Amino acid sequence: MQIAGNIIIIIGIIFMFFGVIGIYKFKNFYSRILISGQIDTVGALTVIIGIAVKHGISFFSLKLLLLAGIILLLNPLATHITARSARLSGYLAQEQEPPPHDKKDGV
C-alpha cells in the first residue's frame, strides 16, 4: 500500500514537471495557459490520490478525495476565466512571434 502510494506520487510529480516545462516552452500565452492549466490539475490530482492511497481507507483519505473533487472542479474553471479575460480584453496572440510553421508562408 505504501509503495503503491509512493509510485503514484512520483507519477504526479512527473506530470507537474511537464507542466513547468510547458510554461517555459511555449512563447504564445494562449498555448501556455492551455497546457499548464490542464497538466497542473492532473499533477495535483495524481499526487492527492497517491497520498490518499498511502493512507488507505480512513477519514484522512475521504477528505483528500473531497479536496481532489474540488480541485477537479475549480482549476479548469479558473484557467478558462483567465483565458476569457485575456481574450475579451483584446490581448491578441499575434503580438508574440507566430508559430514556426507559419514563417514558411511569409505571413
3-state SS, one letter per residue, for the chain: CHHHHHHHHHHHHHHHHHHHHHHHHCCCHHHHHHHHHHHHHHHHHHHHHHHHHHHCCCHHHHHHHHHHHHHHHHHHHHHHHHHHHHHHCCCCHHHCCCCHHHHCCCC
Is 22 among the residues that bind another protein (CB under 8 A)? no
Is 9 among the residues that bind another protein (CB under 8 A)? yes
Q: Which of 8, 42, 44, 49 binds another protein (CB under 8 A)?
A: 44
Is 86 among the residues that bind another protein (CB under 8 A)? yes
Q: Which of 90, 100, 101, 107 binds another protein (CB under 8 A)?
A: 90
Q: Which residues bind another protein (CB under 8 A)?
A: 9, 13, 16-17, 19-20, 23-24, 29, 32-33, 36-37, 40-41, 44, 47-48, 51, 54-55, 59-60, 63-64, 66-67, 70-71, 74-75, 77-79, 81-86, 88-91, 96
